[in-house]
Amino acid sequence: MPAGLLRPALLAAARSPRLERGVTRMRATRALVDRFVAGSAEPQAITAASALRDSGRFVTIDYLGEDTTDPAQARNTVAHYRELLAALGELPAAVEPGTVRPLEVSLKLSALGQSLPHDGHLIALDHAREICAAAAAAGVAVTVDAEDHTTTDSTLSIVRELRADFPGTGTVMQAYLRRTEADCREFAGPGSRIRLCKGAYREPESVAYQQAAEVDAAYLRCLRILMDGAGYPMVATHDPAMIEAAQRYADEAGRKADEFEFQMLYGIRDVEQRRLAADRRQIRVYVPYGDQWYGYFMRRLAERPANLAFFLRALAPANRR
Ligand SMILES: Cc1cc2nc3c(=O)[nH]c(=O)nc-3n(C[C@H](O)[C@H](O)[C@H](O)COP(=O)(O)OP(=O)(O)OC[C@H]3O[C@@H](n4cnc5c(N)ncnc54)[C@H](O)[C@@H]3O)c2cc1C
């Protein structure tokens, strides 16, 4: 299949419960999943976070799950975050002088009930508030992830509300959305923490740029707005061109190394992560854990055909045991 069709096909598969059942049952999947996911429970996430801290990297931890349609499951997600935050609060790195918190959790509002019928928006807000309060007590920062474009208005409105009580709550901007430059201008005020990523979902042309070159150009425009703004930019990308531009824009805006950070995903470009840390640049690693890894895993395959080829080879009959 041509590469241009592969990404949308994999992103469509990421939303298929039938494929999810099939792929998660395959034993061959596990080795590749382990490359991107830190384990199934809190102790493994804490072990991975501690090792990253020991190597000079910051972390943000995500309890995997999304598109929850069951209120009990949304409550269960809150319980996992509370357990995680209690353990993170015990780590020596939880609170350090200065405004940048080495430890952070990332939340997906759709895992907290945002898509439940009727009161989903309010349920997700209440759950996120409970997690923000537990995080504040533990000295841990919170960033609210961005999901597909149908959730953007609800997510940004929840972030506005959370910021009233927890001003350091971070949010994510997806450069591929046509609206994002305007959102960056609104959210880049003093004290804000904005993670800029390219965007990982399958989106229609009416709302999102489709060509990689258009997305890269939009990323650079948003990056410039954030670097020139009054907030704290979090540059989430593995792309060498974007990393180089971020450093250049930061220098041009007179930002010091502790006035912005780079971010990458667990298991991706580890050597580059270590290089940045050794170079005294702030680098944070997004560490997902939990059993509901299917959607996250499929988005990683969609980003990189080489990972898909590796996965397909592992599934080949000769490799099955
Ligand atoms: C910390 C962090 C948080 C994120 N949070 C969100 C979010 O909340 N919402 C959202 O929609 N998206 C999120 N994303 C995902 C993001 O939107 C992109 O889908 C993803 O980062 C790939 O884009 P890229 O900028 O790395 O560039 P790309 O153009 O995809 O890749 C550039 C280069 O990076 C390397 N690379 C990229 N992906 C991989 C991979 N999977 N395996 C190995 N090498 C790879 C390759 O060398 C590639 O050529 C997040 C990403 C990061 C790093």
Q: Report percent pLDDT > 90 for the chain.
A: 74
Confidence of residue 318 (pLDDT cuts 50, 70, 90): very low
pLDDT at 94 over 70: no
Pocket test for ligand 1, best of 66, 193, 265 (most atoms within 8 A of CB): 265
pLDDT (tens digit per residue) in 133-152: 999 999 999 999 999 999 99
pLDDT at 96 over 60: no
Is pLDDT larger for residue 315 or for residue 150?
150
Q: Quick check: 292 and 66 in contact, CB under 8 A? A: yes
pLDDT (tens digit per residue) in 123-138: 999 999 999 999 999 9
Q: What is the pTM (predicted TM-score) of this model? A: 0.93
Identify the three-state secondary structure at position 304.
coil
Helical residues (DSSP H) of 89-145, grouped into ranges: 120-138
Q: What is the dihedral of CA 147, 290, 295, 1, to 10 degrees?
A: 140
Task: Report how far ligand 1's centroid is from the alpha carbon of 92 (Å).
Answer: 29
Res 13: pLDDT: 81
Q: Which residues are catalytic?
A: 145, 195
Task: Report how far ligand 1's centroid is from the alpha carbon of 163 (Å).
Answer: 26
Residue 91: partners with Cβ closer than 8 Å, 6 or more residues away:
46, 49, 50, 53, 103
pLDDT (tens digit per residue) in 271-295: 999 999 999 999 999 999 999 998 8
Determine the Cα–Cα distance for residues 113 and 127; give it in Å rounded to an integer: 8
Q: Whose CA is nearest to atom 53 of ligand 1?
A: 264
Is pLDDT larger for residue 15 or for residue 300?
300
Is pLDDT larger for residue 307 or for residue 299?
299
Residue 3: partners with Cβ closer than 8 Å, 6 or more residues away:
305
Res 308: pLDDT: 76
Task: Report how far ligand 1's centroid is from the alpha carbon of 152 (Å).
Answer: 19
Identify the three-state secondary structure at position 210.
coil
Pocket test for ligand 1, best of 303, 304, 307, 311 (most atoms within 8 A of CB): 303
**Residues at CB less than 6 angstroms from ligand 1:** 145-146, 172, 174, 195, 197-201, 236-239, 242, 263-265, 268, 286, 300, 303-304, 307
* Mean pLDDT, residues 201-209: 96
pLDDT at 230 over 90: yes
Q: Report percent pLDDT > 70 for the chain.
A: 93
Task: Report how far ligand 1's centroid is from the alpha carbon of 188 (Å).
Answer: 22
Res 320: pLDDT: 43
* Mean pLDDT, residues 4-14: 79
Res 319: pLDDT: 44
Intra-chain end-to-end CA distance of the chain, in Å: 28
* Mean pLDDT, residues 188-203: 94
Q: Whose CA is nearest to atom 14 of ligand 1?
A: 197
Res 6: pLDDT: 77
